[in-house]
Amino acid sequence: MALLSLPPPPPRRPMAAGHAILVVLIALGIGMVLNAPGLAAAAARQPFGWQRSVAVTLLTPIRTFSDLAGLNWPHVALADVAAQATGSASSGDQVAAAAPAPAQRATAPTAAVTGDETEPSPRRSPAGDDRRGGTREYPLRMWVGGDSLTSEFGPALVDVAVRTRRVTADVDFRFSTGLARPDFFNWPAQLRRVAATVDPDVFVVMFGANDGQNLQVDDRVLTFGTPAWQAEYRRRVTAVMQRLSARGRWVWWVGQPGMRSPDFDARMSLLNEVYRSAAADHQRVSYVDSRALFTGPTGAFSPYLDDGGGNRTLMRQQDGIHLTRAGGQRLADDVFAEVAARWGLTEGN
């Protein structure tokens, strides 16, 4: 009996070159969105120059979309798992802090600042002293803002403050920003607008993670750490402190925590000294030293710390820079303790 032979299968048609390119571009786009935190953090740490400006400008909206859409969770989850498995932060690419849930992320409007805003007259508490608000009838108005290290700390501070029912609070944090690059995001102008329109009783701000770089002044570039650089950066810090502490307001300026990288930690230590010394020259500005909160028994960087209940808890993200949610809560509790001590605020009273 003769066997029937099957016809050979038709030859597979190769994918058209255009389709192949499209598939590659889609895959790259998906990868860029999923890894947006790491890419944005790496771009922000590039040397000062046009390459950094272009990279940050292109990646910031992608990173914002990734955060708001919750597409960065695989990246953040893997970073946390890796840190827990090793007990220390990885030496790989930086991983920026995970954004809080949309319900927690209260941001101030981004209206343009014209410079024509007029600040209202200082408000006084019924007692007539300089402690404005702080009661249920006259709640204290708090505004929290800063760079990406505020993304976990800021919402946590707002939560603990409003639980007293004697504080109203808002938070506004911007990734890859600071006082070094007003061409990218102008914090002094934004803070001037907030002072004029929101008129908080208390400002809590945290800058510096993106400021360890050269400064451009007119057509000059000031090298980081030089006397000229320190003088210019202090001038910027002082101008912000003067603006925020005007009209009877109080300011808590939060310093940078210790960092895993020795070089980066040294840069942040220099910035902290600028903040500390500038705050000492302003009666209504208090400097909050966060370094001791995030160091181990030997004073060295440690991603895991005692949470106060005898449990070792991951406080820092894999990049050795940003705070985890627990770390943000740790810092928020410390800062609010200082604010509450001045106004006699306690939860539910």
pLDDT of residue 133: 73
Report the pLDDT value the prediction gives residue 111, as an integer from 0 to 100: 32
Please check the confidence at residue 96 and state whether its pLDDT lies above 90. Answer: no
For the whole model, what pTM was predicted?
A: 0.68
128 has a pLDDT exceeding 60: no
What tens digit of pLDDT does each residue of 27-70 get?
676 766 667 766 766 665 555 555 656 776 777 677 666 665 66
User: How high is the pLDDT of residue 132?
Assistant: 60
The pLDDT of 83-107, averaged and rounded, is 34
> Can you tell me the distance from the alpha carbon of 316 to that of 328, in angstroms, rounded to the nearest whole number?
9
Task: Report residue 67 as tokens.
Answer: 């955060």
Mean pLDDT for the stretch of residues 245-264? 96
Q: Which amino acid is at 296?
A: G
Top-confidence residue, 116 or 278: 278
Which residues have a Cβ under 8 Å from the Cβ of 275 and sit 6 or more positions away? 208, 237, 253, 255, 287
Which pLDDT score, from 0 to 100, does residue 298 have?
85
**Structural domains of the chain in order of their starting residue, each with its CATH number:** 90-117+129-343 (3.40.50.1110)
Determine the Cα–Cα distance for residues 303 and 156; give it in Å rounded to an integer.
Answer: 19
Q: How would you write the chain as a 3-class SS string? A: CCCCCCCCCCCCCCCCHHHHHHHHHHHHHHHHHHCHHHHHHHHHCCCCCHHHHHHHHHHHHHHHHHHHHCCCHHHHHHHHHHHHHHCCCCCCCCCCCCCCCHHHCCCCCCCCCCCCCCCCCCCCCCCCCCCCCCCCCCCEEEEEEECCCHHHHHHHHHHHHHCCCCEEEEEEECCCCCCCCCCCCCHHHHHHHHHHHCCCCEEEEECCCCCCCCEEECCEEECCCCHHHHHHHHHHHHHHHHHHCHHHCEEEEECCCCCCCHHHHHHHHHHHHHHHHHHHCCCCEEEECCHHHHECCCCCECCEEECCCCCEEECECCCCCCECHHHHHHHHHHHHHHHHHHHCCCCCC
> In this predicted structure, what is the pLDDT of residue 87?
38
pLDDT digits (tens, 9 = 90+) for 140-180: 999 999 999 999 999 999 999 999 999 999 999 999 999 99
pLDDT tens digits for 267-297?
A: 999 999 999 999 999 999 999 999 999 998 8
Which pLDDT score is estimated for 39? 73
* pLDDT value, residue 86: 37
pLDDT for 310: 86
